[in-house]
Amino acid sequence: MHYSDYTGLPVSPPSSPQLESLELPPLNENSKFISYMTDDHTPIEFSWQFEKSGEATVRFAIDPVMRQANPEVHGSIMGLFHELSQTGLLAQNTDFTWSRICMEALTVAPEELSDKNRSSLSYSSQYFIGFDCMSTGIRLKAYFLPEARAALTLQSKQTLIAEMIKRLDSSCQVNLTMPWFNLLHFFDSLPQAIFPEFPFVAVDCLPSRQNRLKIYARTHLVTFSNLRRFLTLDSKGYSGLGMKNRAWEHISLLWYLLFPETFHLGEDAEVPSNNPGNPTGGLSYYYELRDGCPTPSVKVYIPVRNLCPNDEYIVKALETFFRITSNSCIGSQYTESVRDTFTHRPLAARAGIHTYVSLSIKPDDRIEVMSYFNPEFSPDL
- Domain membership of residue 134 (yes or no) is yes
The whole-chain average pLDDT of the chain stands at 85
**What is the C-alpha separation between 323 and 36, in angstroms, rounded?**
34
What is residue 21's predicted lDDT score, i.e. its pLDDT?
Answer: 42
C-alpha angle 27-28-29 in degrees, rounded to nearest 5 = 125
Q: What are phi and psi of 352, to 5 degrees?
A: 145, -30
Q: Is residue 26 part of a domain?
A: no
Instruction: Give the DSSP H or E segment for 157.
Output: helix 157-172
3-state SS of the chain: helix, strand, coil percent to 5?
40, 20, 45
pTM, whole model, 2 decimals? 0.88
Distance in angstroms (rounded) separating the CA atoms of residues 147 and 107: 8
pLDDT of residue 226 exceeding 90 = yes
Inform me whether the pLDDT recorded for 67 exceeds 80: yes
Give 369's strand partners: 359
Worst-scoring range by mean pLDDT, 148-152, 186-190, 377-381? 377-381
Asked if 163 and 105 count as a contact pair (C-beta separation under 8 A), the reply is yes
Q: How far is CA 350 from the centre of its chain?
A: 22
182: closest CA among 101, 299, 298? 298
Helical (H) or strand (E) element with 213:
strand 213-219
Is residue 10 a part of any domain in this protein?
A: no
Residue 33 pLDDT exceeds 90: no
Across 280-309, average pLDDT: 94
Contacts of 144 (CB under 8 A, 6+ apart): 102, 103, 106, 107, 126, 127, 200, 201, 202
User: Does residue 169 lie within any of the structural domains?
Assistant: yes
Residue 314 placed within a domain: yes
Q: What is the pLDDT of residue 278?
A: 79
Q: Say if residues 304 and 354 touch (Cβ distance below 8 Å).
A: yes
How many domains is the chain partitioned into structurally? 1
Each residue's pLDDT tens digit, 111-166: 787 777 777 788 889 999 999 988 888 999 999 999 999 989 999 999 999 999 99
pLDDT at site 280: 78
Determine the pLDDT at residue 378: 64
**Pair 367, 250: CB distance under 8 Å:** yes
Strands (E), 248-291: 283-289
Residue 92: inside a domain: yes
Domain that holds residue 218: 42-373
- Cβ neighbours of residue 21 under 8 Å, at least 6 residues apart? 1, 87, 89
pLDDT for res 32: 63
Q: What is the mean pLDDT of residues 335-347?
A: 93
Q: Give dist(CA 188, CA 241) in Å, integer.
A: 19
Residue pair 359/230 in contact by the 8 Å Cβ criterion: no
Torsion angle, alpha carbons of 159, 183, 283, 38, to 10 = -50
pLDDT at 261: 95
**What is residue 21's DSSP assignment?**
T
In the structure, what pLDDT confidence band is assigned to residue 19 with cuts at 50, 70 and 90? very low
165-178: average pLDDT: 97
Cβ–Cβ contacts within 10 Å for residue 261, how many? 10
Q: Does the pLDDT value for residue 221 go beyond 80? A: yes
Q: DSSP assignment, residue 138? A: E
Q: Is residue 168 part of a domain?
A: yes
- pLDDT digits over 191-209, tens only? 999 999 999 999 999 999 9
Closest CA to 29 of 40, 18, 15, 17: 40
The pLDDT-based confidence of 289 (bands split at 50, 70, 90) is very high
Distance CA 316, CA 312 (A): 6
Which amino acid, one-letter code, is at 264? H
Residue type, 26: P
Give me the pLDDT at residue 31, please. Answer: 54
Give CA–CA dist 4/61, Å, rounded: 14
> Which one is predicted more confidently, 255 or 378?
255
pLDDT at 40 over 80: yes
In eight-state DSSP terms, residue 271 is P
Q: Tell me the three state secondary structure of residue 154.
A: coil
Residue 22 domain flag: no
